[in-house]
Amino acid sequence: MPLTHWDPFEGVDIFNRLLPTGFGRWPRLPADTRFEWAPSADISETDKEFLIRAELPAVKKEDVQVTVHDGLITIKGERRQEQEDKSEKYHRVERYYGSFSRSFGLPDSINADAIRCESKDGVLIVHVPKREVAQKQPKQIRVE
C-alpha cells in the first residue's frame, strides 16, 4: 500500500488570509471572467404561507425578477460588477457577478395570485400564501 502525505491544514483558507505570501500562490484569472452563481436560499412554512428568503447582497431590486409558472417559482436576476478603479490593484476577488437563477417547486395548495416579494437588507423575501382548504367531512358509506 502506497504512503500518502497528510496535510492537516489542506483546504484551510485562514493561512492565505493572514500570510502575505499567500497572494502569489493562486493563479490570476482575467478580470472579465464570469462564474455562474446562485444565491443561497432558505424555505420555511407557517400556518398561512411559505417563505423563501434568498440572499442577494449588492443586487438592486430592479435587477431581480420573480415568476410563477407550471408549479415552479423562479428567482432570477443579475449582480453587476462595480466600476473598476484603475489605481486599485486587486489581490483576490471572491464575490461572484453575473446572472443567476433559482427555481423551486410549489405545492398545489398555494394561492399564486397573492404571492408578494419584499427586499430588505440584501435579502429577498418571497411570501407564498396558502390557499384556504375546506375541511372535508368523512362520508359514511353503507355496507350492503
95-131: pLDDT as tens digits: 788 899 999 999 988 999 999 999 999 999 999 999 8
49-103: pLDDT as tens digits: 999 999 998 888 899 999 999 999 999 998 887 777 778 887 887 778 889 999 9
**Which domain range does residue 44 map to?**
30-83+94-129
Q: Is residue 11 part of a domain?
A: no
Output the domain CATH number for residue 121. Answer: 2.60.40.790
> What's the number of domains the chain is made of?
1
What strands, in cross-sheet order, belong to the sheet with 41-45? 41-45, 49-55, 123-129, 116-120
